[in-house]
Structure 1
């Protein structure tokens, strides 16, 4: 899964990552940002396109650059780097829309065997967190590095 990915520029604190998506829509700067939430050691995974003029990060922009697998592999690579720099951290991720959350679920499902080697993945049902299961619908995902 991680073999075909983009080169990433990383902030010194290993919380912000930037890379360029290349495809039919041109070069698009993508940003992955891990922000601590109000629970110590828990981080939100934010991801979106960086506006070249304002530097605003939009998690609603649809790029359609025909490289979604490479982009997901790159985001996953940032998770490894982030977790290496923040041992014991827990990352929460959800899409900005139901369609994006479904896309993330499909990416996890398609690579579950490899992901489970290094991470524990939980999915949020309507009532609780559970170990990630294929073919289940989740509203969010919780990721921890295995020790």
Structure 2
């Protein structure tokens, strides 16, 4: 995606968990991307959201920090890194709400040509 991305991304050795900080109009908000196996072989679920006070992913909160495109481009960058290391795996994701699913579909649609080159 031809948008700015967050570059200060922490990740574990297996690339199961990625964390970065969203910087925007409401300050610094910690974000996490996690890849979890599903009951289907080679299918992994992508979970994404703010890191809450308990250190868990909150995929319901709306931070509205003004950096949506940068966050979505960072997600694409992480997906690229993950699928490069694990090319045999399929990634499943959807929004936690209908509105978020629509947002993801719109972002993919607007960048489909470029994303199709990698995925």
TM over 0.5: yes
In structure 2, the CA distance between the partners of 1:97 and 1:3, relative to structure 1 (3 Å rule), is: closer
For 1:71 and 1:3, the matched residues in 2 are separated by 9
For 1:13 and 1:55, the matched residues in 2 are separated by 19
Counterpart of 2:71 in structure 1 is 71
1:101 aligns with 2:98: no
Deviation at 1:85, TM superposition (A): 1.5
Higher RCO (CA-CA < 8 Å; seq separation 6+): 2
For 2:55, what is the secondary structure of its paired residue?
coil
Deviation at 1:2, TM superposition (A): 4.9
Give deviations 1:88-143, integer Å, cap 9, x for gaps. Answer: 10001100000000000011011111001121xxxxxxxxxxxxxxxxxxxxxxxx
Q: Unaligned regions of 5+ residues in structure 2, if any?
A: none
Normalised to the residue count of structure 2, the TM-score between the two structures is 0.95
For 1:97 and 1:3, the matched residues in 2 are separated by 24
Counterpart of 2:92 in structure 1 is 92
Map 1:47-58; keep pairs closer than 5 Å: 47-51=48-52, 53-58=53-58
Counterpart of 1:22 in structure 2 is 23
Deviation at 1:54, TM superposition (A): 1.4
Structure 2 contact 60–96 (Cα < 8 Å) conserved: yes
For 1:58 and 1:37, the matched residues in 2 are separated by 19
Deviation at 1:49, TM superposition (A): 0.2
Aligned length: 118
RMSD across aligned C-alpha pairs, in angstroms? 1.0
Q: Unaligned regions of 5+ residues in structure 1, if any?
A: 120-147
Deviation at 1:15, TM superposition (A): 1.2
For 1:78 and 1:118, the matched residues in 2 are separated by 12
